[in-house]
Structure 1
Amino acid sequence: MTSISRLWLAFAAMGAGTIHLAVGATAPVLLAIILVGFGAAELAWGVATLVRGRLVVPDLALFGALIPVFVWGTTATLGSGFGIPAGATGLPLFPMMVASLFGLFIAAALAVVRRRAGRSIRQTGSAGAPAPGVGRTDVATAPQGWRFLVALTIGGLLFSGLTTPALAATEVGAHAVPHGLPASTSRTLPGSTSPALVTPGHHR
């Protein structure tokens, strides 16, 4: 697998992990435990893949990426069967859809890597020792200058462009204080014992 592919997989894992943590923070207890746990694991796997320059436990990551997708699909299916809106299940539609797309991308890419590695092993057979890199689920390929830089830029824009609105659509994101807005202050008006909310720049 090329360094660019690993980079995009790491971005996807960190995007999915961040969304799962945000959704899990306000989800029902059982779903919260599952999503927060997998969110932390996805973040750790993405960081480890970037730091170590190779895929970490790819077989485990393949199946792990599909479990949150399965959990969301099951929850949505059961909820719709009982006439429960998607938002009422505690798993908002758009954030979970983006996180699931990331998970499917990771699983599909790792499945391709696994299949190629298995094919290489079968072709080698008992004819002799496998060629360098054969039998591994990851074959390192050095970055190629401007190609890597372009891929890094595109990957960053693509995955952050999907992750940011997904986070904003979660309940955690809805309660976040917008950047650049001054905090409100309270002041007691003359002749009144209750404080009035005053925004900086607005004078009475």
Structure 2
Amino acid sequence: MFGQIWSALASLGSGLIFFAVAAGSEWWLAAPLIAMALAETGYGLAVLRAGRVVAPRAAITGSVAAMLLAFGLLFTSTIGFVPAIAMIGLHWIVAVLAALVLRSRRSEQRAPAGHPRPGAFALSMTVAALVVSAVTTPALANTGPGEFAVPHGTLHQHH
């Protein structure tokens, strides 16, 4: 139950980074990045909706493809180090959790885990959201559109 929260939030966070990178890219590069961002966002929402990691083999394949794309964008200087590492780390979470789901399916039948306690679920959701936001926010700030954002800690001037 807790793995699905981490997988969904990591996928949503990496989707946001892909959207930001696409917003600062040329049109020919933006189109596949937007497609990847939509796939990431859709997967994150599907996991939240289903309450479990869905399509684990596809999640592993998509995560590996996204990590390779992030490496390629880094080495072509399309994105900086922070967004690349953030995308790779978030996709690593998705891939590892999907692999754990596949492994648990292959193991012997276990007793159902039951429903998590509400307090434990809320705590896990909070920690996952904090970690993903702590990784995603600096990555967004280090993209092209993030450079033009209002500096953190300052206010707009109103006259």
Asked if the contact 1:35/1:68 (under 8 Å) is kept, the reply is no
More helix as a share of residues: 2
Greater CA radius of gyration, 1 or 2?
1
**TM-score normalised per structure 1:** 0.68
The match for 2:82 among 66, 71, 94 is: 94
In structure 1, the partner of 2:101 is 113
- How well do the aligned residues superpose, as a CA RMSD in angstroms? 2.4
Hey, what's the Cα distance between the residues in 1 that align with 2:137 and 2:96? Answer: 23
Hey, what's the Cα distance between the residues in 1 that align with 2:113 and 2:58? Answer: 19
Q: How does 1:124-143 map to 2 (within 5 A)?
A: 141-143=114-116
Hey, what's the Cα distance between the residues in 2 that align with 1:54 and 1:64? Answer: 17
Q: Any gaps of 5 or more consecutive residues in structure 1?
A: 80-88, 121-130, 134-138, 185-199
Q: Deviations over 1:76-118 (max 9, x none)?
A: 45x4xxxxxxxxx312221121011000111111112112212
Matched, 1:170 2:158: no
In structure 2, the partner of 1:161 is 134
Equivalent position amino acid for 1:155 in 2: A
Q: How many residues align?
A: 158
3-state SS, counterpart of residue 54 of structure 2: coil
Matched, 1:39 2:27: no
The match for 1:5 among 3, 6, 20 is: 3
Equivalent position amino acid for 2:122 in 1: L
Hey, what's the Cα distance between the residues in 2 that align with 1:43 and 1:141? Answer: 28
The match for 2:155 among 181, 185, 192 is: 181
Structure 1 segments, 4+ long, off by >3 Å, are: 28-31, 74-77, 177-180
Q: CA deviation at 1:178?
A: 5.3
Hey, what's the Cα distance between the residues in 2 that align with 1:90 and 1:6? Answer: 31
**TM-score normalised per structure 2:** 0.85
Q: Any gaps of 5 or more consecutive residues in structure 2?
A: none
Q: Deviations over 1:33-57 (max 9, x none)?
A: 3322111111111112112212222
Asked if the contact 1:54/1:140 (under 8 Å) is kept, the reply is no
Hey, what's the Cα distance between the residues in 2 that align with 1:140 and 1:33? Answer: 42
Q: Which has the higher contact order (CA 8 A, sep 6+)?
A: 2
